[in-house]
Chains A and B, each alone.
Chain A
Amino acid sequence: DTEVTQTPKHLVMGMTNKKSLKCEQHMGHRAMYWYKQKAKKPPELMFVYSYEKLSINESVPSRFSPECPNSSLLNLHLHALQPEDSALYLCASSRPGQLSPYGYTFGSGTRLTVV
Chain B
Amino acid sequence: AQSVAQPEDQVNVAEGNPLTVKCTYSVSGNPYLFWYVQYPNRGLQFLLKYITGDNLVKGSYGFEAEFNKSQTSFHLKKPSALVSDSALYFCAVRDGNTGNQFYFGTGTSLTVIP
Task: Decide if A and B are genuine partners.
Answer: yes
Decide if B43 touches A109 in the complex (CB within 8 Å).
Answer: yes
Decide if B101 touches A45 in the complex (CB within 8 Å).
Answer: yes
The residue from A42, A97, A106 contacting B43, defined by CB atoms under 8 A apart: A106
Decide if A56 touches B101 in the complex (CB within 8 Å).
Answer: yes
Docked Cα-Cα span, A41 to B6, in Å, equals 12
What residues on B are CB-neighbors of A111 within 8 Å? 41
In the complex, whether B99 has a CB less than 8 A from a CB of chain A is yes
What residues on B are CB-neighbors of A6 within 8 Å? 43
The size of the chain B interface, using a CB distance under 8 A, is 27
A residues 41-75 in Cβ contact with B at 8 Å: 41-43, 45, 48, 56
Docked Cα-Cα span, A106 to B34, in Å, equals 13
Listed stretches B45-53, B60-68, B69-77; interface member: B45-53
What residues on B are CB-neighbors of A7 within 8 Å? none
What residues on A are CB-neighbors of B97 within 8 Å? 99
Docked Cα-Cα span, A48 to B94, in Å, equals 15
Most buried by B among A45, A90, A98, A111: A98
Docked Cα-Cα span, A97 to B51, in Å, equals 15
In the complex, whether B88 has a CB less than 8 A from a CB of chain A is yes
Decide if A42 touches B104 in the complex (CB within 8 Å).
Answer: yes
The size of the chain A interface, using a CB distance under 8 A, is 25
Decide if A98 touches B43 in the complex (CB within 8 Å).
Answer: no
Decide if A90 touches B44 in the complex (CB within 8 Å).
Answer: yes
Decide if A99 touches B34 in the complex (CB within 8 Å).
Answer: no
Most buried by B among A90, A97, A103, A106: A103
Decide if A101 touches B51 in the complex (CB within 8 Å).
Answer: yes
In the complex, whether A105 has a CB less than 8 A from a CB of chain B is yes
B90 to chain A, nearest CB (A): 6
Known: A92-B43, A99-B99, A108-B43; 16 extra A-B contacts, CB below 8 A, are A4-B43, A6-B43, A41-B107, A42-B105, A43-B90, A56-B101, A98-B99, A98-B100, A101-B32, A101-B51, A103-B34, A106-B43, A106-B45, A108-B42, A109-B41, A109-B42
Cβ-closest 10 pairs across A and B: A98-B99, A106-B43, A42-B104, A101-B51, A106-B44, A108-B43, A99-B99, A103-B34, A109-B43, A101-B32
